[in-house]
Structure 1
């Protein structure tokens, strides 16, 4: 068998392996699709029948949504609290700086009055 023939056989084998892998992938996709269709049918029947299970699932979904909203509100509240605390701290520093500057100006005024007399 020549090198060319060996290469051709190898390519054929690789092609068959790729086709086999593709076939397996297609089978898996088909199985997943069938499961999805079955789940959609079940949900549709539950919704259509307005069954207790369907209502329970709807309440569960709603509760989960409310829980998420509540968690988001808590996170936002914490961020606002932190921001306000930092702003108060910065304002406190600003007030202290202004008081120090005011004291310095008063002292300068007293010194200038004393020296001008």
Structure 2
């Protein structure tokens, strides 16, 4: 994936999240996606932070949106690899985070949510 494609994807990704639209968010992910996040570890008992499959991932994100009705992401950096996009973003709380997304055949097959210190 080239940088222009990565930047376009990151813009769509942020717009989808900011709209809180799970259909738009999940359209980018494969049915057998594997996603890991320390937030998932807190929300999904027994998951160890790993969510497998689009239906469980959608349920996790639905719960996250329910708990954070003001959720909003601002993209602050985008990085492209061969089959990877890293989106560095600021949450509505000021916290910096990044998602590392691995693509195959145009959809995300694996993702990792990472979170930095809370900034004021």
TM-score where L is the length of structure 2? 0.21
Higher strand content, 1 or 2: 2
Larger radius of gyration: 1
Larger RCO, structure (CA 8 Å, separation 6 or more): 2
Higher helix content, 1 or 2: 1
